[in-house]
Amino acid sequence: MSDEQNWQAPGASGQTPAPEGQPQQPQAPQQPQQPQYGQYAPQPGWQQQPGWQQQPYGQQPYPAGAQPAWTPPPKPGLIPLRPLTLGPLLAGPFQALRRNPRITVGAALLLQGIPSIVVSVLIAGGVALLVGRVVSGELEDQPTLRAGLVGGTIVLAVLSLVITTVFSALLQGVIVADVARESLGEKLTFRALWQSIRGRIGALIGWTMLLALAWIVAFALVIAVIVALAMIGGPAGTIGAVLVGIFGGLALIVLAFWVNTKLAMVPSVIVLERLSLTAAVARSWRLTTGFYWRTLGIILLVWVIVYAITQTVAIPFGIIGGLVGGVFAPTSASTSDSLTQVLVAQLSVNVVSSIVTGIVGAIGSVIQTAAVSLLYLDLRMRKEGLDLELVRFVEARQTGQELPDPYLPPAAQPAAPTAGWPAG
């Protein structure tokens, strides 16, 4: 056989021609080049899709023998389904306002804005009525009228606290449920959200009132000790009252930060895990263990942001209210007409300021509640792998399967059907 018959193009058979006089050395077949760590490696015929749109959990969506490429964490809704960093934790509450404003803003106005405005008007009217009775009463009736003023003010304050606490608890429940469903890509109506928390309203109100009552009792005890020491008289009593006031106040502040942070997840646990009040308290305490400073820092940061926004809106009304007297009575308010104009203008500015502040404060409460709800999800992702359960739930929903609520604790979940699920 001639050399021409044995000739092949260089590299056609995976070999290279050897120099003349040297034997041909076979070359090992070339291995496909592996991507370095952190590089994206697209595979032939496969197009990357978001993780929550890929094959169901446990199935292999890649061609046989192909190396899996990196995919971003699935984000079917409000947040990516992975442990959250500071960015998503801060952006998530504002995204919740933007994604479903009819629920978030509507619930804020309905459950906190309007009740706070009504309570403010009732308290102002009631106090004005009681003060008017004291001013216009006879001299011999003054002790009774003053006692009535003090008692009426206390009753109005307690009534205000009860109304505010009840509606605040309802708002917390709605926002917690909305954030949880939006994280799964679901957008429920107010009626659907209300039905989902209807059985948890009593526990929510009970917890909110119990926490408020506990802090009222704690502050009252410190004040009672201060008053008792002051009544003793003498330098010892005075010094003791001052020391108790300083150190007792500092101790209450530190205790408030610690306890409120450890128990911040109780509303989320009550709504999403449907536990009893005592079990929810213990559950929140366990979830925040090991993440106390991170939880406290994020809660304080969100509070500072909300406070800055609220003050930015409220300060102009305070400035306008201070300028009202100069606008309507530039020289003096000696005449009755000018005084009436000043009082009417001042009252109008105060009413408008109260309405605007109430609305902004209600929206701020939504942001703070949503931030704590996202912190709850983040803690469960970090400590219990909740992100895997949420991904499994979303992928099963894409294929038409039904799974139990992924937010329920494992002990409360019914056994999921295994038919149709791949092994492993």
What digits encode the pLDDT tens for the residues 102-112? 888 888 888 87
d(CA 414, CA 412): 7
- Alpha-carbon dihedral sign for residues 240, 245, 246, 250: positive
Q: What would the mean pLDDT of 54-72 be, rounded to a whole number?
A: 52
pTM score over 0.85: no
346 domain-assigned: yes
Q: For residues 177 and 193, is the Cβ–Cβ distance under 8 A?
A: yes
pLDDT of residue 332: 47
pLDDT average, residue stretch 209-227: 91
Residue 167 reports pLDDT greater than 80: yes
Q: Quickly state the pLDDT bin for 127 (edges 50, 70, 90).
A: confident
pLDDT at 113 > cutoff 80: no
Residue 419 predicted with pLDDT over 50: no
Give the count of alpha carbons within 13 A of 161, CB side only: 14
Of the listed ranges 44-48, 75-79, 198-202, 354-358, the one predicted with least confidence: 44-48
In a domain, 93, yes or no: yes
In this prediction, residues 32-59 reach a mean pLDDT of: 44
Q: How many helices (H) and strands (E) does the chain have?
A: 13, 0
Please check whether residue 181 lies inside any domain of the structure: yes
Predicted pLDDT at 39: 42
Q: What is the mean pLDDT of the chain?
A: 77
State which residues form the domain around 156. Answer: 86-200+291-396
Please give the share of the chain, as a percent, with pLDDT higher than 90: 32
The region, left, alpha or beta by phi > 0 then psi within -120 to 50, assigned to residue 233 is left
In a domain? residue 155: yes
pLDDT of residue 351: 67
Residue 48 lies in a domain: no
Domains in the chain, number? 1
Structure-token match 């009534």, residue found: 159
Confidence (pLDDT) at 328 = 52
292-320 burial code (b ≥16 CB/10 A, e <16): eebbbebbeebeebbeeebeebeeebeee
- Of 2-6, 167-171, 289-293, 347-351, the poorest mean pLDDT is in 2-6
pLDDT at position 165: 84
pLDDT of residue 345: 64
pLDDT at 44 over 90: no
Which of the four pLDDT bands, split at 50, 70 and 90, describes residue 43? very low
Please report whether residue 57 resides in a domain: no
In the chain, the amino acid numbered 243 is L
The whole-angstrom separation of Cα 118 and Cα 112 is: 10
Per-residue pLDDT at 338: 56
Report if residue 299 sits inside a domain: yes
Which of 179-183, 367-371, 414-418 is predicted least confidently?
A: 414-418
CA pseudo-torsion sign 314, 315, 321, 327: negative
Range 359-369 average pLDDT:
87
Q: How confident is the model at residue 13 (pLDDT cuts 50, 70, 90)?
A: very low
pLDDT higher at 7 or 340: 340
Q: Where are the alpha helices (DSSP H) in 83-141?
A: 86-99, 101-108, 114-136
Average pLDDT over residues 43-66: 46
Does a structural domain hold residue 368?
yes
Residue 411's pLDDT is what? 62
- Answer for the pair 75, 52: CB distance below 8 angstroms, yes or no: yes
